Structure formats: C-alpha cells, structure tokens
Structure 1
C-alpha cells in the first residue's frame, strides 16, 4: 500500500476498497466503493461533512473520526495532488482551503468580505459536485414571533426615550448662565436655517429606500428584527447619556428654557406628542436638552448601513445614494447648529460599531464560544440563536397573486 500512495489519484474503487480494508474499515467497503463508486480522486476530496450528510450518513461517530484521521494522513502524503485539483491541504481538511471554493458572505464572494472561514458554521460547508464546490442550501426560519417581540421592544424604547427627553428639557441649563460651548465646526460654519429640515428629508428618503428593500427581501422578518434590536439598543444608550449630563444649548437661535409640565400626566402627554411625531421638526416637535448624542444621526446612519448591507454589492447606485444621504444628513444637522460636533461624532461611532459588532457575531456565530457576548448583549443570543451564518441577499415578491390571475398567467 505504501508504494501505491503516490498514485492515489489513479486509484480505482477496487484499490480504494483495499485501502479501507488495510486501515480497518471493512464494514464501509461496500457502501463507499461498490454503491458510491469512490475512486482515488473522490477519496482525497472527502470531508467529514460528506461522511455525516446524505447520501453516506455514517452513524457511528467513532468510525467517522477514525476514518478522517486515516484520510488526513493520506491527504498529507498527496498534498501535491490536492493542489493540482485546486485544493490545498492545511492539516485539517482540504475543504478549509479557499482555493476553488466559492464561499459566500451575505451573497458575496469571500474575496469581498472579511469573514473568518474557520468560524463559519457547519451549514456553510460545501458539497463537491462535478468538480465545483457549491454552497449547501439552508432554510432560514423567519420566526415572526421574535420579530414581534423586537418590534415591541423598539416601540417601548422610543416611548421611554420620549419621556426622558421631557425630563432633560426641564433640566436644560439657563442660556444666560451657560452660553453655548466652544465648537470648531459650529464656530466656523454659519448657521443655515433650513438645514435641519433638509437633514430630516434625507432621513425620510433613506427610510423609503430601506422600506422598499425590506419589502422585497426574502428574509425580511430577520432584517426587521435586527433593525429593531439595534435601534432600540442604541436609543436606550442615548437615554442614559442625555440624562446623566445636561449640555448647554449649541446656539442662541434655539432660545430654550426649562419647561415645567406639572404632574406626571402632563409629562406623559408631552412624551406621547414627541413619540407620535417621531421627534421630528417636520411633524412640529421641538425639543431641547437631548444633545448627547444625536438621535437623527443614529437613524440615518443605521438606515444607511442596513441598506448597504442587505443589497448586493453590484447595486452601486443604491449604495452611493445611501452614503450621500447619510453624509449630507450629518452635515445639515451640524449646519443647522442643532447639535454639537461631538454629539454627531459619538452618534456615528456608536451606531456603526454596534452594527458591525452585531453582524460580525451573527455572520460567524462566534457568540457560541463567547460568554462575554451573552452577558453584554443577551438579546443577540435570543434573536440570532437559529440564524446560522450570513443572511443571503435574496429577493422575492411579497404578495401572492390571486387565484384567477394564476390561472390566466399559468
């Protein structure tokens, strides 16, 4: 058998059967060699996933592990043959190589993403088929009940944020005692009165684009759940930051004074007015004191990242439009002198870091090995426990055609 090792690529199923007998796997000769016609080339490309999954489906774990140990020794001896086949042996299995394998990350090739292959789940291993590796199809459960819970969560957080905004409005520092703080951008750029309305218009356009993407995306329930989870978490952090420290107003044009709303019911009525108007000046909502950090920046940045993440990379026009709206929206917020520069910077940083942190964990399933993630972000483990790996960018029409139209169209 040692002299045959150099010609493994030329082995016939009969020779593969002889190798199996020599290694002590007589029980699998009929299955692998007679039934599935395993020759030398297919033996070298065999992986543990192939042994566990149909059509082989070996049931004895010990046999699977022992067979893989023998197989890896054979692959190591024939690393040059694997290289000719477009596979490189790395000491574990040829399927771990990126050569010749079309790994996907959110519908894109691994060359275009930063995913770490070793942390991907078993669903993302690939099956050898006619000399090419193809991704195993997997079903993503929409879990609508979790999406409903995340929606309730974000609605509650928005309501709580509105109430905190009423509290901080009452605590806004007196402008006569505490004038606007020095700010390089605000001191250098003259105020544009209509700029804040334009910032909100950028947000409305981004929201419309996102709603269209969400409507047509095949996995819209997962996307909406992720948006609600992230948006709720960021705004909960915003409640803490704007409550613990009250900054002076950023401009004399605001003319903010502490308003006393009387009893708790008056405060709740004001909070409902802010909540129902989405905290936007376009809907007639005017607030003061909620500066650290900018809620408008959070919303437009989060929408931008969701639009660019869940649309194919080839949609360059959509991605360009999304980033232009995001950056111009931030500029208009500052040009209106409605927030300090630090408010906008912190909002952008926190939103982008939390988005990337969440999706890195979700795409690599690293939270299974990370106890820290479960402690600091328990909702993530709850919402993502059944979403194994990246969500592919697949689209479908959300509405079913009436029966008479299906009969006419066929």
Structure 2
C-alpha cells in the first residue's frame, strides 16, 4: 500500500532533536486531515473540509453527485465553482488551497503499483463533473458532450443528405457534358461489381469499428471524437458539393437533371439518402455528389480509429483494415463512381484531420498555452477535449448493460428453473393421484363382482 508524507515531516523525522515534535505532529494530523496536502484528500475528507468551513449546502453537489476529491477540488476554476454552487465564498476558500497544493512537496516512500491488469479509472483520464441540462436535472459532463457530438454529427449528415438532393437537381446533363478527362478513369474500363465490393468492405470496417468502440473502456471519448471528426468532414463536403457541380464520371449512366416539385419531396429524398447512408446496397441512388468521396472518408476514418484504439500487437487487424480501405478506394475508381481527385482529396482531408485532432488531444500544451486562440480556431476541439487530461490507454471491458443483461437473464433462468420444478412436482402429484384413483376404482369394481 502506497504511503505519502509531506516534505516538512520528512525533515522532522530525519532530525533527532525533533522526534517528539514529529510524533505530536503525526498525532494531530491523524485527528484532522486538513494539515496535509489538499491534493491527497479523499472525497470524505473534502466533505469534512466543507462542513468545517460551514459549506454544508455544497456537500451534496460536490461530494455526492460530482464525486470531487482533493485533486479535482484544487483544479476547479471560478466559473466551475460558481456554476455548481453559486457560492463566491467557497471559491475564495478553494483558491486559498491552491498555493498549499502547489508548494507541498510529496515524497513517495514506496514504489507505485505497476500491475498492468489494473484498469485506469475514468477520472484519471477525464474530469467528469455533473452539469445541469435542459431535459434532465443533471448529467455527467462527458456523457453530455458525447450526446451533443452525436447530435452534431446527426444534423450534419442529415444536412449533407439534403444538399445531395439539391446537387442532383443541378447536375450537368450527361448528353451535353461528357465526363471530365481523368488520367486513371480514361485508362480503365468500368467494372460493374467493383463498387458493390467497396460497400461490402465499408460495412465490414464499420462493424469492426463498432465492436472496438463498445469493447473499449473509454468508449465515450472515442465516440465523441468520431462524431466530431465526421461532422467536420461531412459539413465541408456539403459546401464543396453545392459550390461546384461536376459532370457524371461515366458515360454508362441514366442520371439526368430532374427538378423536384417542392420542399417536401426534397426532404423525403434526403431522408431516404440519410437512412441508407448513401449506400447503393440499401437502395440509395445519387448522381452529383462529387468532390469529394464520402465512401473514402468512411473507409479511411474507420481504418485510423481501428489502428489507434487497438493494441499495437494487433498488427494483422491493422493490416487488414488498411488493405480494406485501399481496396475500397480502388473499387470506387474501378466502378467509375468518382473522379481520382475526389478520392485523393477525401483521403488527405480525413487522414490529416484525424492526425491533427489526436496530436492536439494527446498534447495538453495546445490547450494550456493560449486558451483564447484555441477556442477561436478550434471551438469544437476545445469544448469536447477540455476535460480530457491525458492520452487514452487501450483498455477493454464490456459495457455495463452487458453485465446487467447477463444478471437479468440469470435471474430469469433461475425463476424459470424453479417454475419448472414446481410444474414437474404438480404433474407428478396429479399423475400419482390419478393413477391411485384409477386403481381404487378397479379394486372397487372387482369387489362388487
């Protein structure tokens, strides 16, 4: 068990003339916990400190709901304290603790536990205070941000689907505007089944990614990053599609510009595109969504996330995911579904955005040097990564609902087993009684004869 003691106490212990004073200091520190480094306080000690300073009304929100220990207490800023408690005196008191936590020098007397099987606590990765929300009384900060990121991605993809319906109406007539010159497409013949292979690979990649995220211990942060990057890519794709309309990339097509009658018809078509996620395997047909390729973005992002959030020892999985992405991009070109420039731009944008985002997320210097500049240039990143304190370790465990479902199924099976036992017992009694009654009737008939 790790033990930590303050530097001043170590000096007292090392001085033979102060042995008596050190013993008295240790006894006083055992009776009250407020003379130690505030960073070392537990949640119970924080609660004692709040009550000792007449902040009893703040105990519930800070200790019972937000689970704030000493380390998190001294890191609270003024806005966080006021938003949680609306108590300025509490902020002044917490502010007075900060110099103590910074000046206290702690010496580790025993080596830390290096058990690799121990999971990293979520609080070690991200601060998770409870915040007020519009539709529930309180919600954990990390879950609130993940929900907002999901809504952002949802609305962006829906908006992109609506833009595709507008682009399809503005597509250049293939009879008047032939495909643009393309170095790759001009030298290969269209392969009808190639694009179908690409979409099958997309489904395999996305299924693998979903399994990886669900099995990952820090799945909330990963989902938040996936939704944020996806929203950025699809919003930019909507802008590039609507600004420039390119001719259809193949001569073998039945696409033609066709105006829809009203807004309701456009919204219906956009909904069908959204539900089918732009995949022709699900019955979705689009013609003018060039510059740049959404299929390529999906393949590259899935390969990046699989490689990032699985152990380095899973080299075969990484190799297969990147091979699937590469084969999928070649399938798009072989099917003449996109120009070469669409594939290149989608590859560069999705890969660079993923790398830049994770480089900043894994280096806290970006958020600490110039906060105002980061909030101006990278508002989504600054908001969603504000409380993430370190790089995410690749640790895996099943979600809580799996264990809850397993326990519920076990309870059901136990109930069913006992019910079966009672049914068998009841049938046994009925059959026994019927048999004995029939024997009795036969015996009575024999006597009468």
* TM-score, L = length of structure 2: 0.63
- The farther-off stretch of 223-232 and 392-401 is 392-401
Matches of 1:345 and 1:127 in 2, distance apart? 53
Instruction: Please list the CA deviations of residues 89-148 of structure 1 after superposition, one character each: whole Å capped at 9, or x if unmatched.
Output: xxxxxxxxxxxxxxxxxxxxxxxxxxxxxxxxxxxxx97854998999625447212111
1:95 corresponds to which residue? none
1:404 shift after superposition: 8.6
1:186 shift after superposition: 0.6
Secondary structure of the residue that 2:252 maps to in structure 1?
helix
1:211 corresponds to which residue? 210
Q: Which has the higher contact order (CA 8 A, sep 6+)?
A: 1
1:390 corresponds to which residue? 391
Secondary structure of the residue that 1:385 maps to in structure 2?
coil
Matches of 2:408 and 2:155 in 1, distance apart? 40
Q: Against the structure 1 CA distance between its residues 263 and 314, is the aligned structure 2 distance closer, same or farther, given a 3 Å change threshold?
A: same
Q: Are 2:234 and 1:235 equivalent residues in the alignment?
A: yes
Q: Choose the corresponding residue for 1:402, options 407, 421, 427.
A: 407
- Structure 1 segment 102-113 matched on structure 2, within 5 A: none
> Does the 8 Å CA contact 2:171/2:288 hold for their aligned counterparts?
yes
Q: Are 2:225 and 1:199 equivalent residues in the alignment?
A: no
1:235 shift after superposition: 0.2
- The farther-off stretch of 277-286 and 249-258 is 249-258
2:369 corresponds to which residue? 369
1:198 shift after superposition: 0.6
1:321 shift after superposition: 1.2
* TM-score, L = length of structure 1: 0.69
2:379 corresponds to which residue? 378
User: Greater Rg, structure 1 or structure 2?
Assistant: 2
Matches of 1:251 and 1:31 in 2, distance apart? 84
> Does the 8 Å CA contact 1:241/1:292 hold for their aligned counterparts?
yes
Matches of 2:224 and 2:197 in 1, distance apart? 29
> Does the 8 Å CA contact 2:39/2:101 hold for their aligned counterparts?
no
Matches of 1:63 and 1:360 in 2, distance apart? 30
> Does the 8 Å CA contact 1:128/1:134 hold for their aligned counterparts?
no
Q: Which has the higher helix share?
A: 2
> Does the 8 Å CA contact 1:127/1:134 hold for their aligned counterparts?
no
> Does the 8 Å CA contact 2:168/2:286 hold for their aligned counterparts?
yes
- Structure 1 segment 120-199 matched on structure 2, within 5 A: 129-130=110-111, 138-140=124-126, 141=128, 143-199=142-198
Q: Against the structure 1 CA distance between its residues 191 and 65, is the aligned structure 2 distance closer, same or farther, given a 3 Å change threshold?
A: same
1:311 corresponds to which residue? 310
- Structure 1 segment 323-334 matched on structure 2, within 5 A: 323-334=322-333
Q: Against the structure 1 CA distance between its residues 26 and 251, is the aligned structure 2 distance closer, same or farther, given a 3 Å change threshold?
A: closer
Superposition CA RMSD, Å: 3.6
1:3 corresponds to which residue? none
> Does the 8 Å CA contact 1:180/1:252 hold for their aligned counterparts?
yes
- Structure 1 segment 82-97 matched on structure 2, within 5 A: none
1:30 corresponds to which residue? 12
Matches of 1:180 and 1:349 in 2, distance apart? 24
- Structure 1 segment 263-274 matched on structure 2, within 5 A: 263-274=262-273
Secondary structure of the residue that 1:254 maps to in structure 2?
coil
Matches of 2:196 and 2:327 in 1, distance apart? 12
- The farther-off stretch of 158-167 and 146-155 is 146-155
- Paired residues in the alignment total 317
> Does the 8 Å CA contact 2:125/2:388 hold for their aligned counterparts?
no
1:368 shift after superposition: 2.9
Matches of 1:363 and 1:283 in 2, distance apart? 38
1:61 shift after superposition: 3.7
1:176 shift after superposition: 2.9
Q: Against the structure 1 CA distance between its residues 404 and 170, is the aligned structure 2 distance closer, same or farther, given a 3 Å change threshold?
A: closer
Matches of 1:243 and 1:334 in 2, distance apart? 22
